[in-house]
Amino acid sequence: MSLVEIKNLKVHYPIRSGFWNRITDEVPAVDGISFNIEAGETYGLVGESGSGKSTTGKSVVGLEKVTSGQILYNGHDITRRNNRRKLDYNHDVQMIFQDSLSSLNPRKRIEDIIAEPLRNFEHLSKQDEKLRVLQLLDIVGLDADALYKYPHQFSGGQRQRIGVARAVATNPKLIIADEPVSALDLSVQAQVLNFMKKIQRDFGISYLFISHDLGVVRHMCTNLAIMNRGRLVEIGTCDDIYNHPLHIYTKRLLAAIPRTDVSQRAAHRASRLAVEEIYREQQDKYYDDNGRAYPLVAVSPTHQVALPPDIAQQLAHQESEADV
Amino acid sequence: MENATNFLNIQDVSTAFKINGRFYDAISHINLQVHRDEIMAIVGESGCGKSTLATTIMGLHDPAETKTSGVIDFEGTDLLQLSDDQYNDYRGAKIGMIFQDPLSALNPLKRVEDQISEVMDYHSDLSRDAKHARVLELLDQVGIVAPKRTARQFPHELSGGMRQRVIIAIAIACKPDLIIAYEPTTALDVTIQAQILDVLRAIQQENHAGIILITHDLGVVAETADRVAVMYAGQIVEEGSAEQIFTTPQHPYTRSLLRSMPQRENENDDLYVIQGNVPSLQRMPQGGDRFAPRIPWVPQSAHEAEPTMHTVAPGHSVRCTCYKVFTFPDQQKGPVTP
Amino acid sequence: MWKTILRRVLIMIPEVIILSILVFLLAKAMPGDPFTGSINPKADPAQIHHLMKINGLYDPWYQQYWNWVVHLFHGNLGNSYQYQEPVTRLISSRAANTLWLALLTMVLTYALALPMGVFAGRHEGKLPDTVIRVYTYVTYCIPFFVILVIGIWIFGYVLGWFPTTGSISADATSGFKSIWSRAYHILLPAILGALFSTVNIVQYLRSEVIDAKRSDYVRTARSKGVPNKDVYRHHIFRNSLLPIAAFAGYSITGLLNGSIFTETVFSYPGMGLLFVNSISYRDYTVITALVLIYGILNLLGTLLSDIILSIVDPRIRIE
């Protein structure tokens, strides 16, 4: 059994309009998605802004009202509030946010910020609590004098590590990381990513790693899902997605990643424009009449793509032939 | 191609900000030439001074709070000697600037059309109708699908990508010779980013403009720049063609940055982390190699006392001599010999 | 646009109903009755009892409320117990006084506050800014009635420039003379009221201007080559004045509340003075009528602010 199983999750936002502000329509922010997160793995969720990836993340933490579908955590549906309470779910699942400055209370000291989840869940004595906070600061590589400082006294990378320290304070089983490094400089990003990997090795934490940056996701994840307009268009291992993409949207995303091999610049650009061209011409084939992505079908034990089964098989076949 | 000296030639430019009554250098002794028809990228992390360089060229600093020295020779005029009024003949007309964060860079209370035609109000004597036509033409040029509709809209009604296109339209409205693009794609999705960079490149080719592309994103640089200057702690530490910088980087900082990027090759390894932090303005090391504290294993004798730029190949230069002996700690075979 | 305003007005209906019930109940809850001691200190309690009865004061509250509302719709707010005349007439004769005073105060407030706020923001940290800030701090920390008393003392008694009581001189009877006399009487209270109410606007506007000066869109405007004075005119002032414009509605309500002080100190025969007098005489009918009017004016002020804001700010505008 997987740690987390998301089954046909839907989150719809109401649109109000008219004179009485009645709900007249709904926007499907998340429109029926399913995937599993295994214990100890980093699962990547990739998409552009407005794709619904953050809404998915918030639903998994329980911050979003789920319209329908299930989120099973160790087999229990946590979309129901009393299940979350019974399972101590909020203790086991934590979140890291993109904007570390606005997600840390500016009027609280680091000690109180990191101790907050401990106070909510662990009820330690004052001394034990302080010891634990110091331990956490040590894990994220900050000195003890950080205890009495305020968030604005740290650099972006340090703040992000404080956010991580707070998230791991309760020894969670799962951390939802929503764009955890997209506001950071390269060298600081490297620090935070290394650190996230380290605590995963040490404590066996699973991550749901939400990002728009395909380079970072490849570095961090074993499996990933590509999300587009509230639906998943492709699921697979890193090898499946990066080396054998089948859905046109995935191909388009991959083609748009900037490459650092300057000598291949012209070729890379040409291939990107070619993919764009194909995307414009053929995107109807990849979405149904309402513009929704098709249900996922498996083309290999690990690889699923959102296409009618016959087309999927045909594409997968072509892909494997091209490979040989 | 015009001679470098009569396009943009930045000589020994320093800009200092007043903090608690004292002036601190944000950029020191910058020397840089930009040609027509090229994209010159300036790369560096936050705090390296790249934004100060941009605003210094644009003359956007409050003279009471800043001190600028040196020469910015643009088409034969030293911009730093101009009065504010004289500068206004350059800003928007001959030099256009594209800003990051397109939501806050647009006035929330003015329609797109008014914001674009405002540039022309001051730098052209076009009639109202001509300006309107030009606005539609510009919006079309930057890839907006329904120019007429967008022109009437307010910034909050547009998506991030569309706002960025409007910002570009403002910058190119008067066909400037020099365009400064400050993090033009940071807030955007990759597919939009690629499109925006295409637009920039097309405009540059059409107007024969010189572009200064300021960014922290090495991928964007590798995709678009002709030449690259890498900045660290207010100084240029390496300069060369994009090919030189990405295939044969010399300065320890450049090499460290490239190694900290997640790439195919280091998929399962830890990323390289540069020790220490970028120094703040008040704590900038004075004298010596400013990057030395972050590579402490390189012996002091390998650094110059007053680092200067050394030419390592035609068009490729690097600051300080330490690059000659620099190796990463995990790649050292024996003890480092100076 | 009209739909938004109409919806906003409709929301006011339940607000007014709730307000009227509250006003009515509060008036009822006040201790004492309007007759004891006011007719004749030795009046027979039985007679007072009789008066209370014929005035319906022993009925259940909802019935009294209903009677009151029915009368309200006939323009009948009852008779003042104190003055023995219809409340409607009593109030309408004073409403104009209050209205003129409020209007002049408001005009003076904005005439003083806008230039001060803009000037202070533009020259942030320099001498004029410091002077204006000291002025706002001083007026902010002195209570309003103290300002009034000091003002009367200096300008009314020491310098003798302005009259200190009433709304018109006894000898001003003919047309022009009476208008002049009225204006002359409200000038000092209006100036003092304006001096007091500038504080918030000045400080708010100042910080708006300072924020706008540093905003990214102003930097964009400068990089377009827009001259400094036009940057201020087209971008900074315009954008920082908008929230102030929306303040106008609220500031009306502020002035009405302030009129209670001003009119009392100046013995100026407006609604504020009437209110204070009615409270001391437990003149329920007048109190309820006035609180209701003040409450409705407050709601109207808020409505006005919302409407102004939705007109001037495209981000709120609903097509």
Check whether residue A197 and residue A290 sit in a common domain: no
Tell me if C94 is assigned to some domain. yes
Which among A188, C48, A252, A113 has a CA at the least distance from the CA of B47?
A188
The pLDDT of residue C302: 85
Task: Examine the domain organization and report whether A49 and A81 are in the same domain.
Answer: yes
Q: Residue C319 pLDDT more than 50?
A: no
- For residue A9, give the CATH number of its domain: 3.40.50.300
CATH at residue C168? 1.10.3720.10
Query: Over the stretch C216-267, which tens digit does the pLDDT of each residue have?
Result: 999 999 999 999 999 998 999 888 888 788 778 777 777 777 788 888 888 8
Q: What span, in angstroms and rounded, lies between the C-alpha atoms of C260 and C301?
A: 17
Residue A221 CA: distances (Å) to CA of A195, A228, B137, C40, C104: 14, 19, 45, 92, 69
For A161, the token pair is: 């590590």
* Tens of pLDDT, residue by residue, chain B (338 residues): 444 457 999 999 999 998 888 899 999 999 999 999 999 999 998 888 998 999 999 999 888 889 999 999 999 999 999 999 999 999 999 999 998 877 789 999 999 999 999 999 999 999 999 999 999 999 998 888 899 999 999 998 888 888 999 999 999 999 999 999 998 888 778 888 888 888 888 888 888 999 999 999 999 999 999 999 999 999 999 999 999 999 999 999 999 999 998 887 666 678 898 888 788 888 887 778 899 989 999 998 889 888 999 999 999 999 999 999 998 887 765 544 43
Shared domain for A32 and A127, answered yes or no, is yes
According to DSSP H, which parts of chain A are helical? 53-61, 81-86, 89-92, 110-121, 126-139, 156-168, 186-203, 214-220, 238-243, 248-256, 265-286, 309-323
B9 and B210 Cβ atoms separated by less than 8 Å: no
Same domain, residue pair A205 and A133: yes
Do A222 and A263 lie in a common domain? no
ipTM of the complex, rounded to two decimals: 0.87
How near does any CA of chain C get to the CA of B144, in Å? 20
CA atoms of C319 and C310, how far apart (whole Å): 10
Domain boundary among A221, A243, A265: A243
Highest mean pLDDT among A231-235, A320-324, C194-198 belongs to A231-235
Which 3 state secondary structure label does DSSP give C308? helix
Both A235 and A253 in one domain: the answer is no
Q: Same domain, yes or no, for A191 and A256?
A: no
pLDDT digits 0-9 by tens, C291-315: 888 888 888 888 888 888 877 777 7
pLDDT for res B129 = 94
CA distance C7 to chain A (A): 7
Same domain for A281 and A302, yes or no, is yes
Record the pTM.
0.84
Of A186, A219, A243, the one marking the end of a domain is A243
CATH of domain B4-225: 3.40.50.300
pLDDT tens for A100-153 read 677 888 888 988 998 888 888 878 888 888 888 998 888 777 888 888 888 888
Identify whether C68 is part of a domain: no
| Domain shared by A156 and A270, yes or no | no
Domain ranges of chain B: 4-225, 247-263+271-331
Domain that holds residue C199: 89-312
Query: What is residue C32's predicted lDDT score, i.e. its pLDDT?
Result: 62
The tens digit of pLDDT for each residue in C19-45 reads 888 887 877 776 666 565 555 556 677
Number of structural domains (chain C) is 1
Are A156 and A102 part of one and the same domain? yes
The pLDDT, as a whole number, for residue C172 is 62
Please state, as a whole number, how many other Cβ atoms lie within 10 Å of the Cβ of residue B306.
Answer: 9
Average pLDDT across chain C, whole number: 81
Q: Is residue C80 part of a domain?
A: no
Residue with tokens 């000092």: C188
Instruction: Collect all residues from B whose CB is shorter than 8 A from any CB in A.
Output: 45-46, 160, 189-194, 216-220, 222-223, 242-243, 246-247, 256-258, 260-264, 266-267, 270-274, 277-278
Of A243, A278, A305, the one marking the end of a domain is A243
Domain that holds residue A298: 244-324
Shortest CA distance from B89: residue in chain C:
C225
- What pLDDT is recorded for position B104? 87
Asked whether residue A191 falls in the same domain as residue A92, the answer is yes
B91–C contact, CB cutoff 8 A: yes
Name chain B contacts of A278, Cβ cutoff 8 Å.
Answer: none
**Residue C2 within any structural domain of the chain:** no
The reply to whether A117 and A140 lie within a common domain is yes
Name all chains with 3 or more CB-CB pairs below 8 Å to chain A: B, C
Which chains lie within 8 Å of chain C at 3 or more CB pairs, if any? A, B
- Predicted confidence at residue A98, as pLDDT, reads 79
Interface of A with C in 10-29 (CB under 8 A): 19, 21
Count the domains in chain A: 2
Cβ burial of B315 (10 Å; 0-12, 13-18, 19+) is exposed
- Is residue A324 scored above 60 in pLDDT? no
Nearest Cβ partner for C227 among B85, B104, B108: B85
Q: What confidence category does residue A323 fall into, taking pLDDT thresholds of 50, 70 and 90?
A: low
Q: What is the DSSP string of C239-301?
A: HHHHHHHHHHHHHHHHHHHHHHHHHHHHT--SHHHHHHHHHHTT-HHHHHHHHHHHHHHHHHH
Question: What span, in angstroms and rounded, lies between the C-alpha atoms of B115 and C36?
Answer: 71
